[in-house]
């Protein structure tokens, strides 16, 4: 009887363990599925909002405009139709808010019931006008030419250099600057964290007196527990003005500031894991080296470091993998200007910062929303690649 009870209890425990791990895995899969479903939707979206139309006069030779051209026209960088394949006439812009300049309220009707006819009339009278208005007001017998909505192309998305996600009428989703900005800041963080992390790991793992070690190790682990927003604030108030003064810059919010903050944040992970790798070097190897007459330093450089190489590399990749997705700290110190970086002393905009700053106000399910999820996919792929690399490097250690 007792055995039976125990058996049932074990079965129940097993069931709970099984279902909890299944639920966790399912949740992870669902999150990834959701991420991809929302993000890939960007390529079926249009840069001009679907509820609005762009229309020109029926005799205008222009039949199609790219997102860049629409952006250029409404930003008044493009002033003449011949720049986009039309006649040499200056472009007249019209958006729905300007209807008051052409017709008075009486003509439009109390409930704007005559608005569609009036827009139609206006465009028929203005051969050089490009009009942007809600398709709600598109007259049934519209005499102008409605330009087709272009889907956002893959090359436009990945190679585009302008990020104006809320620009009207044509939002511009070019993420090249964001990807480069992220990689640039990460590269800087690696360059800073690599030497410092390695030296500290060797010191704590090999050189330090046990008493020093028991003092340093918890201190470094404590660094990992500081909230990232505190690092960000520290960066904004201390590091940014420091960089500004040191390099005599006009502005201190730079990629370098982001790299320094990220490096500090990645260091606890790097040091802890690298130090573990160093300390797991078998005593037999160590003693063999010393027995052959090698000094302590020679043993560290010739025996211990080569032996724990894969563990050290894994430490760096994990540290950087954690840092690359860091949002708040970077958001506060890098300046977030969407430009392609050429030096470390320029502001950059990273993917996580963009998502954090913009997702809150992007209309749910809209093109901007999907573009941010697509950025999330890219970030996911980058960190996934980093973590997979660790999986490939680690097995070498067991040989």
Residues that bind another protein (CB under 8 A): 49, 51-52, 71, 74-76, 96, 134, 136, 162-168, 177, 236-237, 240-241, 244, 250-253, 331-332, 335-339, 347, 349, 356-358, 360-364, 366, 368
User: Which stretch of DSSP H or E encloses residue 52?
Assistant: strand 52-56
Return the SS3 of 77: coil
CB of 191 to another protein, least distance (A): 24
282 versus 360: smaller Cβ distance to another protein: 360
- Kindly state the smallest distance separating residue 334's Cβ from another protein, in Å: 9
Judged by CB, which is closer to another protein: 5, or 250? 250
CA dihedral for 130, 135, 141, 145, sign (positive or negative): positive
- b/e sequence 166-196, b meaning 16+ C-beta within 10 Å: ebebbbbbbbbbbbbbbbbbbebbbebbbee
Q: Report the candidate in 316, 310, 356 with the shortest Cα–Cα distance to residue 332.
A: 356
* Both tokens assigned to 50: 């679907």
Of residues 281 and 354, the one with the C-beta less far from another protein: 354
Least CB distance to another protein at residue 234 (A): 13
Q: Which is nearer to another protein, 52 or 272 (CB)?
A: 52
Q: Give the nearest distance from C-beta 161 to another protein in angstroms.
A: 8
What whole-number distance in Å separates Cα of residue 261 and Cα of residue 334? 10
Burial 58-85 (b: 16+ CB within 10 A, else e): eebebeebebbbbbbbbeeebeebeebe
Q: Smaller CB distance to another protein: residue 130 or 362?
A: 362
Q: Which is nearer to another protein, 39 or 197 (CB)?
A: 39
What is the spatial distance between Cα 172 and Cα 371, in angstroms, rounded to a whole number? 10
Structure tokens that stand for 73 in this block? 């026209």
In the complex, least distance from residue 64 CB atom to another protein, rounded to whole angstroms: 22
Residue whose C-alpha is closest to residue 358's, from 228, 191, 128, 166: 166
- Name the minimum Å distance from CB 93 to another protein: 9
Nearer to another protein, 205 or 335 (CB): 335
- Least distance between another protein and beta carbon 326 (Å): 14
Report DSSP letters for 93-161, one per residue: EEEGGGGGGTS-HHHH-TTSTTHHHHHHHHHHH-TTEEEEEEGGG--TT--SEEPPPPBPPHHHHHH--
Shorter beta-carbon distance to another protein: residue 179 or 223: 179
Minimum CB–partner distance for residue 206 and another protein (Å): 42
Q: Which is nearer to another protein, 102 or 164 (CB)?
A: 164
CB of 331 vs another protein, minimal distance in Å: 5
Residue 243, SS3 per DSSP = helix
Sign of CA dihedral 100, 106, 111, 116: negative
Of 213, 180, 201, 170, which Cα lies nearest the Cα of 319? 201
Burial label, 250 (beta-carbon count in 10 A; 0-12, 13-18, 19+): exposed
């Amino acid at each position: 009887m007792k055995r039976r009870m125990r058996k049932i209890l074990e079965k129940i425990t097993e069931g709970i363990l099984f279902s909890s791990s299944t639920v966790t895995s399912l949740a992870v899969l669902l999150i990834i599925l959701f991420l991809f479903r929302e993000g890939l939707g960007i390529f079926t979206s249009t840069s001009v909002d679907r509820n609005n139309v762009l229309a020109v006069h029926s005799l205008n030779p222009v039949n199609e405009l790219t997102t860049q051209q629409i952006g250029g026209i409404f930003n008044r960088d493009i002033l003449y139709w011949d720049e986009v394949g039309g006649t040499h006439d200056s472009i007249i812009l019209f958006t729905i808010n300007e209807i008051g300049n052409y017709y008075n309220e009486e003509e439009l009707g109390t409930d704007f019931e005559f608005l569609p006819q009036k827009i139609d009339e206006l465009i028929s009278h203005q051969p050089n006008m490009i009009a942007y208005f809600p398709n709600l007001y598109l007259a049934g017998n519209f005499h102008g030419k409605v330009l087709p909505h272009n889907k956002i192309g893959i090359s436009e998305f990945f190679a585009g250099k302008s990020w104006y996600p809320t620009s009207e009428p044509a939002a511009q989703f070019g993420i090249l600057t964001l990807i480069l900005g992220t990689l640039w800041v990460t590269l800087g963080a690696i360059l800073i964290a690599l030497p410092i992390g390695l030296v500290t790991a060797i010191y704590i793992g090999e050189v330090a007196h046990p008493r020093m070690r028991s003092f340093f190790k918890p201190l470094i682990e404590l660094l990992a527990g500081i909230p990232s927003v505190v690092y960000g604030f520290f960066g904004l108030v201390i590091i940014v003005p420091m960089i500004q003064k040191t390099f005599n810059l006009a502005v201190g919010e730079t990629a370098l500031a982001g790299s320094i903050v990220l490096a500090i944040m990645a260091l606890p992970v790097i040091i802890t894991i690298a130090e573990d790798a160093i300390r797991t070097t078998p005593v037999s190897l160590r003693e063999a080296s010393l027995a052959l007459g090698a000094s302590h330093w020679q043993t560290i450089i010739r025996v211990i470091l080569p032996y724990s190489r894969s563990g050290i590399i894994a430490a760096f990749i994990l540290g950087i993998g954690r840092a690359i997705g860091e949002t708040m700290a970077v958001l506060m110190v890098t300046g977030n200007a969407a430009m392609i970086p050429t030096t470390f002393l320029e502001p950059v905009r990273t993917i996580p910062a963009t998502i954090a700053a913009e997702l809150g106000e992007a209309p749910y399910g809209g093109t901007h929303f999907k573009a941010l999820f697509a950025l999330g996919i890219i970030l996911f792929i980058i960190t996934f690649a980093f973590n997979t690399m660790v999986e490939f490097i680690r097995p070498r250690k067991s040989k």
